[in-house]
Structures are given as C-alpha cells and as structure tokens.
Amino acid sequence: MSSTLPALRPSNIYVSSLLAGTKWATSSLTYSFPTSSAHYGVSYGSSEPSNAFGTFLSAQQGAARTALKLYASVANLTFHEITETASQHADIRFARSNSPWTAWAYYPNDNDTGGDVWVNNTSRTYDAPRKGNYAYLTIAHEIGHALGLEHPHEGTAMPRNRDSMEYTIMSYRSHVGASMSSGYTNETWGYSQSLMMYDIAALQHLYGANYGTNSGNTVYAWTPTGRAYVNGSAVSVAGDNRIFQTLWDGGGIDTYDFRQYTTDLKINLNPGSWTLTSRSQLAKLDAGGKKLAAGNIANAFLYENDTRSLIEKALGGSGNDTITGNQGANTLRGNAGNDRLVGRSGDDVLVGGSGNDTLYGDSGADRLYGGSGADIFRFRAVSDSLSSARDTIKDFERGVDIIDLRSIDANTNVAGNQAFTFIGRAAFKGAAGELRFSDGLLSADVNGDAIADMQVNVARLTMLSKSDFYL
C-alpha cells in the first residue's frame, strides 16, 4: 500500500474547500475488487467487512474503471488493477457492505482503510451505474474521497455560489442554493457526467495536470441526441439526450463542433465558462424540472496559467449563435444564422458565414470575414485594432455591411462619448475625432495629434463613404 502526505492548501477558497488534508505520495496507484472479507484486517474501520460483505457487481466494476480513467485523464495519476489477496492489497479497494446506508470512502491515510470505497449492499440503487445517473455519480464521488477530496460544505466551506453539482461532484447540493436536507433532486439522467471544473482544479493542485490527454489536434462534436464524438469516434453518453460535463484537453489546436444544431447556441471557449447547446439538453436539477444546469459543457480552468488546455476553435450551427473566444488565437465560424462572434484577446479569425452576423475582433490582429448577408464589424475600443496590431476586414461589401465605431470615444480630450467625423481620403488636420480611409487603410485619431491611434485594414477596397459606418 502506498504512503501518504499532507496536502498543502492553496489560497483559492474554491479549490481549498475541496481538500481533505491528505494525498497519496505517489502518482501510480493500484486498485482492486476484493472477493472476500478476509482480505481486510480484523479490526477494520467501521466493521464494513463483517456487515454483509459483497464484491462489486460487474456493472459497478465497469463504472469504477471508467471513473478512474476520468481521474487519470485530468491529473498526473495512473491506476493499475491488481487481484486482491491476503498478502497483496491495493491502494483503492472497492466493495459492498451494509455499514454505509448509501456509500462512503476513506481519505488517503497510512492505515489499512486508506483509499477504500464502500457501497451499500442491500439497496439496489447502485446496481446499474451508467454515466449520467445517480449510481455512477456515487462511485465517481467516492473515488474523489479516496484521492483526497472532501465535501465543499465541510471545514472551510466553499462559497455557496459554487457549492453544487454543476461545479463539483463532491457537493451534496443538486444546484446552487439547494438545501442538503432533501438529498439530491436531479432527474434520473440529470447527474454530472464527468468530473466538474473545481474537482479538476483540486485534483491538479494535489497531483499535477495531465497534458497527455488528447494532446493532438482534437475535434469534440456534440449532437441534439446527446451523442458525442472525439475525432469522429463515438463516446459513451448518458441514458437520455442530456449533456452535463466539464472538458479537459491536454494540448493541440482543438475544436468544438456544433454543426448538427439548429438551436441558438451560446458557445464560450473561456476557462471556467459554460456552453449552452439547447435548453432541452440541460439537466433538470430539481423535482419540478424548473432548476436547470448552468450549461451543457464547461471548460476546465487553466492549471498554473498553462494555455495548452485551451480550446482554440468553434463551429456553430444553423441557429443565431453567440460564439466567444478566449485569450488564445481562435478561429470562430458562425455558419448559417445571424451570429455574434467575439474574439477576445489573441490574433483571431472570425467567419460569420451566411446570415446577418456581428463580428467583434477585440484585441489582437484579427482577420474578419462577414460572409454573405448584411454584416456588422463592431469595434469597442481603440485597442481592438492598434496600428501595431491591425485587424483586417477581408470581405467588406459596400452598401450591405457596416463598420460600427459607436462604442469608441472619438475625442479623448473632452468628457463623454464623442462620434467620429469621416473625412474621406483627406489627411488628418490635428482635430480629435477624425476618421479617414486611403489605400485600404482606415485610420482614426482620437487625441488630435494627427497620428493614427487606431487602424483597420479593409481588403480589396479603395474607397469608403460615411454611409459605410456607424459613427
């Protein structure tokens, strides 16, 4: 059996609140499914081996193996299955007993109980675990304890705005603000299908991050049926069309693909943010079905600000989608529908596709393609397209598309938000708020020094007029 160490607590209360105080000293752990109570010590724990001992059912063993793979995929951990004997004991042992009325597990410790998982042997509640149901969540939750995670309401508690299954499978609350007295209130297939964002962060604090998981260029695709694909290969899904998961990716140039959807998608690539595919796929978290999960797919947080785990690309569907990028170099494609694309920082490529789209490059040297339809290229700050990092509008169509500068104060010398004055091809005259276009380059002077503070390349055009702008 492996030894253990104290777990140092970080300053982040959301992560610290999930740490029990101990962790395994090694990243390579063994697990087993004991077949006899004799494999445990005589004065063991709470006498679980002598209270209707039972080996894990085949379905439970499969669920445990699947859940361990989830843990290994996000943290620097490996798990090796061994055969439990009187002389060979695994670090994490799975068995059934009537001692727990539901289930429990022991935190990492140097006694013979350390890491052991016990599930009730009388109730049939845990006999058929499958991703997305209560039985599967229970096994995954108990493995969390076996690795050093505790409930967020214990000790120094997690702030209530994140103490729920939406953010950690260690929570006793089905949704933010739920009471713990009534137990979980999720619908049958409305339980977390993965480790959630704070589980991943806590595990990585304890054991480090696994950047080998899907470290190449990976395409993650989802469908309205709940079926999901990784690089074209189908992966296991819940028993309904629900999608309720957090995704960790180890590296590469990765893509979220939602092209099968006709709903108005809300795609967000920022760490710790949620993507919404459709309300019909949101897990129902209370008995009346009124409390819905915060989203369908959450992005894991960065580990120690390492950007390898970012998702770089997103493909929208045929609805009116909103797609938001992150600090990386993103490629966002709206496809059909009237889409809203927001690049955020980084040198991004935004492609509206068909429909009347609105494109926000934000900071960085972005390439903007409106596609067909009446598109708006919106700039919200001078820093969105500096002279040293110009955006390029690749397909501006005069009389159809618009360049929107209304959010920018054209004259920083006076209070308020002033409008630009378009002066055509004329040179700056030293008046703040002048906007000119010449030789495919749009230039703006906001302080009156006759030097361009903001510049945007407009490809293929030699002339623009006031009607091409919202000033």
Q: Express each pLDDT in 63-72 by its tens digit.
A: 999 999 999 9
For the domain that residue 365 is a member of, what is the CATH number? 2.150.10.10
**pLDDT band, residue 172 (cuts 50/70/90):** very high
Q: Give which of 283, 100, 302, 292 is closest to 194, Cα–Cα.
A: 283
Q: End of a domain among 378, 407, 436?
A: 378
Using the 3D structure, point to which of 318, 346, 378 is the last residue of a domain.
378
Q: What is the pLDDT of residue 96?
A: 98
pLDDT digits (tens, 9 = 90+) for 17-37: 999 999 999 999 999 999 999
E strands, 140-285, in order: 219-222, 228-230, 233-235, 245-247, 255-257, 266-268, 274-275
Angle, CA of 18, 134 and 303, to the nearest 5°: 35
- Whether residue 371 lies inside any domain: the answer is yes
Please report the pLDDT score of residue 255 as a whole number. 99
Domain residues for the domain of 47 are 4-204
In the set 48, 81, 84, 142, the catalytic residue is: 142
80 and 194 in a single domain? The answer is: yes
Together in a domain, 360 and 407: no
CATH, residue 104: 3.40.390.10
SS3 category, 144: helix
Q: How many residues does the chain have?
A: 471
Type of residue found at 214: N
For residues 199 and 254, membership in a common domain is answered with no
d(CA 146, CA 239): 27
Name residues whose C-beta falls within 8 Å of residue 199's C-beta, 6 or more positions apart in sequence: 18, 144, 149, 168, 169, 170, 246
Mean pLDDT of 345-357: 99
**Residue appearing with tokens 């998961």:** 245
CB count in 10 Å sphere of residue 68? 24
Q: Are residues 316 and 404 in the same domain?
A: no
| Residues 148, 9 share a domain | yes
Active site residue 434: no
Q: Let me know if residue 138 belongs to a domain.
A: yes
Q: What is the pLDDT of residues 140-171, one digit of tens each?
A: 999 999 999 999 999 999 999 999 999 999 99
* Residue 314 included in any domain: yes
Among 173, 204, 235, the domain boundary falls at: 204
Residues 245 and 183 in one domain: no
Residues 97 and 42 in one domain: yes
At 42 the pLDDT is 85
Model confidence, pTM: 0.97
In the chain, how many domains are there? 3
- Alpha-carbon Rg for the chain, nearest whole angstrom, is 27
- Backbone conformation region of residue 129, classed left if phi is above 0, alpha if psi is from -120 to 50, else beta: beta
- Tokens matching residue 248: 């960790």
Q: Are residues 116 and 232 in the same domain?
A: no
Same domain, 187 and 226: no
pLDDT for 423-462, tens place per residue?
A: 999 999 999 999 999 999 999 999 999 999 999 999 999 9
Q: Is 389 part of any domain?
A: no
- Token reading at 407: 């959010």
Residue 386 lies in a domain: no
- Cα 318 from Cα 341, distance rounded (Å): 14
Q: With respect to residue 390, please indicate whether it lies within any of the assigned structural domains.
A: no
In the structure, what pLDDT confidence band is assigned to residue 238 with cuts at 50, 70 and 90?
confident
**What phi and psi, each to the nearest 5 degrees, are found at residue 170?**
-85, -5
DSSP annotation of 17: T
Phi, psi (rounded to 5 degrees) for 198: -80, -25
Q: Are 246 and 309 in contact (CB under 8 A)?
A: no
* 292/370 same-domain check: yes
Q: Mean pLDDT over all residues of the chain? A: 98
Query: Looking at the structure, do residues 316 and 434 belong to the same domain, yes or no?
Result: no
- Asked if residue 388 is part of any domain, the answer here is no
| Amino acid in the structure at residue 457 | N
Helices (H), 75-162: 134-146
